[in-house]
Structure 1
Amino acid sequence: MPQLRRVPLADQAAEVLLGRIRAGEWALGSKLPGETTLAPQLGVGRSTVREAIRQLAGRGVLDSRQGSGVFVTALDAPEDWEQVLRRADIVTVIEARIAVEAEAAALAAGRRTPADLRAMRRALDGRMSEGQSIEEHVNADMALHRAIVAASHNEVLLDLFDGFVPRVRRAMVEMLRIRPVASESEDHAAHVAVVDAIADRRAEVAARESRGHLDSLKAALS
């Protein structure tokens, strides 16, 4: 069995256990051996094993059940969301935005409130304010897209969108500095079309307009 040599030992122990799970030593739903078995295998004390198990439980890989033992609940640990986004190509991020925002627009068409509509209309006006810098325009654009997702009243979709914002914002600012939008009026009309479809409770149209706008953005960034 791999032995641990460097500190912090609990972090090392967690990675060794995760490696063994990834390698298929324990199947999904199976019970891990007890601390008295794992500790000598890893070359650490039982308290270190307990801390390693706690770490993996926090990452969703293990579940420690009182009186029953420790069970495998996932065969790998998801990467940190920010690290994934930092590494992802911006086009890949836009593709993920399409999945999130087209669905959010459809949901918003059925769930939007008068307050949601007011927020979207205000954000629309904010996109076209006179004398905006590129950064201010991008911030206003992100505010509109967020208002649309918020109108879906789906917290998971909103959390996903908020995760995209820093990566997308930087890319949009850089792109607009090099290559401004060919027609600001057409770009704004595309946003108006999404909001109007949501206001009219036309879910399919809202999703189609949202997807079409983001597909155009993807093409511009490719």
Structure 2
Amino acid sequence: MSLGALRPSPLVEQATTHLREQITSGEWAVGTKLPGETTLAKALGVGRSTVREALRALAGAGLVQARQGSGVFVIATTPKEDWSARLRQAAITDVYEVRMLLEVEAAQLAAQRRTEDDITALHAALAGRRAAANAGDTEFVEADIALHRAVVAAAHNPVLTNLFTEFVPVLQHRLLDLVELLGLRSDDPDPGDAGHTDLVNAVVRGDAEAAGRTLRDELRQTLALLHSL
């Protein structure tokens, strides 16, 4: 095995890269049992802890799997794509349909669970969105997403919050394209203000049905625009 000793730092990243290359190049085929940690550490010129972390990274990428009492085996030669990468490659209409499912439920939960701090945050986010009407498209889109983030946060469900966070980079990029391509702010620098005001008011007064309906209507309008491109 000719892996070659590594330079001092960052050792884990280098070890991961070297081992991944052995797998993706076909040097270690699917079903192959990897050499033991001690052997790998000696070949790479690093400690066993570094090898252990590298193997964890490879397992996270779906390339290897540890089998108790047997060792570590190659289970794939192509790394699996992470969720963020899949979102970036997905059609924006598909992303928006999933966003609708996620956010409508979040809005309904927010109306049931919002706290005084959440109410303050929602009013601040709405004010921020209105203030951004005097700014450029990038700032306005960021303020719009910040309001939606505040609604999701008020649901107090960390899984929903984390999922929405994953959507944000894709949404921000695609919504900016939408605003610019269709000139959505050419006549009204603050499009959707009435709907967003209704959304915030519904959450604040604890009307889950109205909150879900208002957000669903808004997202459906945007989805229709996306289908028109």
Q: Same fold (TM over 0.5)?
A: yes
Equivalent residue for 1:137, pick from 132, 136, 140: 140
- Alpha-carbon deviation of 1:82? 2.4
Residue pairs, 1:15-164, within 5 angstroms: 20=30, 54-59=56-61, 64=66, 68=69, 79-129=81-131, 131-164=134-167
**Unmatched segments (≥5 aa) in structure 1:** 26-32, 40-44
2:110 partner amino acid = A
Equivalent residue for 2:20, pick from 11, 17, 27: 11
Number of residue pairs matched? Answer: 200
Separation in structure 1 between the aligned mates of residue 71 and residue 98 of structure 2, nearest angstrom? 35
**Unmatched segments (≥5 aa) in structure 2:** 4-14, 44-50
Q: Is the 8 A contact 2:111 2:205 kept in 1?
A: yes
Cα shift readout 1:46-94 (whole Å, capped 9, x = no counterpart): 769x8685345434787757x655699x999752122112211111121
2:96 partner amino acid = I
Equivalent residue for 2:221, pick from 204, 216, 219: 216
- Alpha-carbon deviation of 1:188? 1.3
Residues 1:168 and 2:177 aligned together: no
- Alpha-carbon deviation of 1:13? 5.8
Separation in structure 2 between the aligned mates of residue 90 and residue 19 of structure 1, nearest angstrom? 36
Q: Is the 8 A contact 1:109 1:202 kept in 2?
A: yes
> Which residue of 1 is the match for residue 47 of structure 2?
none
- Alpha-carbon deviation of 1:147? 0.5
Cα shift readout 1:1-32 (whole Å, capped 9, x = no counterpart): xxxx9x9562256567x985xxxx8xxxxxxx
> Which residue of 1 is the match for residue 182 of structure 2?
179
Runs of 4+ in 1 over 6 A off after TM superposition: 45-48, 60-63, 74-77
Equivalent residue for 1:192, pick from 194, 197, 206: 197
Distance 1:139 1:62, change over 3 A: same
Distance 1:213 1:60, change over 3 A: same
- Alpha-carbon deviation of 1:112? 0.6
Q: Is the 8 A contact 2:111 2:207 kept in 1?
A: yes
Q: Is the 8 A contact 1:14 1:55 kept in 2?
A: no
Distance 1:62 1:126, change over 3 A: same
Separation in structure 2 between the aligned mates of residue 198 and residue 68 of structure 1, nearest angstrom? 54
Normalised to the residue count of structure 2, the TM-score between the two structures is: 0.68
Distance 1:191 1:201, change over 3 A: same
Cα shift readout 1:107-144 (whole Å, capped 9, x = no counterpart): 11111101111111111122222522111211110110
* Identity across the alignment (%): 35
Deviates most, 179-188 or 134-143: 179-188
Normalised to the residue count of structure 1, the TM-score between the two structures is: 0.70
Q: Is the 8 A contact 2:34 2:72 kept in 1?
A: no
1:187 partner amino acid = G
Question: SS in structure 2 opposite 1:79?
Answer: coil
